[in-house]
Amino acid sequence: MHSPSKARRLATLLPALALSLTLAAPSSALAQDIPAQLDWAERLELGTPVSGMVTRVNAEPGQQVKRGEVLVQLDDRGLRASVEEAEAQVKRLELARDEAKLEYERQQEMFDRTLISQRDLSLAEIGFAMAEAEFVAAQARLTRARLDLEYSRVRAPFDGLVLARHVRVGQAVNNELQVTPLVTLVSAEPMLARGSVAEDRLARLREGQNMVVRVGEARYEGTVRAIGLEAVDSGFPVTVQFSAPAEHRLRAGLAATLQTGND
């Protein structure tokens, strides 16, 4: 058995020893890890409001595309014909409007010379107004025709990756009742990691805070993008964004770990 003096000395040394072991512990032991899952920064199903036959598809799963690149092309021959027809109608109605304007000006001059009645002048004014309205309506139809022609080419709205394609060359697309998805495009820059934290850990998090994202053996520096306002299942959602080299080929659904450190 230990003597009373030795017991007292041990009781005195134990708290100091425990404190020194705590201070000597590596920071990773104090870090708090949050299980997470990778997700795309943006996911978009591309379609078009016009209908037609698919003549070209430049989109394969996994393919990298640039903003503005044409991914799907519909047969645009009928749409080009509609544009030409609308342009011709605009020119015709523009001439008719100009002629109606000249006639109204002539009638105005004759009215000022008291050669015609107010009724004749009013009829000329109405004729000019109707010609002007028809010309404006023709311009609107031309704008719609040009938009339809533009919509026959489905372009990438941002730099991204093709997740899936839903059409093939020769397929007819009918979008009269509902727009058909043609290509699913995702953005992997920045990449997102989504996890959840318990209520007692919310106070340690803030938007813009630095956070480490670990995927396997890889480690990425990220920042907190958003913290959920409502609890889901067992915690509050937290989203961290980070950048990764393209050659790492990260994918949505991969398991990750968020490390907040001892702050």
Integer Rg of the chain from CA: 35
Distance (Å) of CA 216 to CA 10, 31, 227, 238, 256: 44, 17, 24, 20, 7
Share of the chain above pLDDT 90, in %: 72
End-to-end distance of the chain based on CA atoms, in angstroms? 45
Q: What does the block give as tokens for 1?
A: 């058995």
**What fold does the segment set 27-41+187-259 form as a domain?**
Elongation Factor Tu (Ef-tu); domain 3 (2.40.30)
The 10s digit of each residue's pLDDT in 91-139 is 999 999 999 999 999 999 998 988 889 999 999 999 999 999 999 999 9
Mean pLDDT of the chain: 88
Q: What distance in Å separates the CA atoms of residue 162 and residue 60, rounded to the nearest whole number?
A: 6
Q: What does the block give as tokens for 95?
A: 């001439």
Domain boundaries, the chain: 27-41+187-259, 76-151
All residues at 6 or more sequence positions from 85 whose CB lies less than 8 Å from its CB, including other chains: 145
Q: Please state whether the peptide bond connecting residue 26 to the residue before it is cis, i.e. omega within 30 degrees of 0.
A: no
- pLDDT on residue 19: 43
CATH number of the domain at 76-151, please?
1.10.287
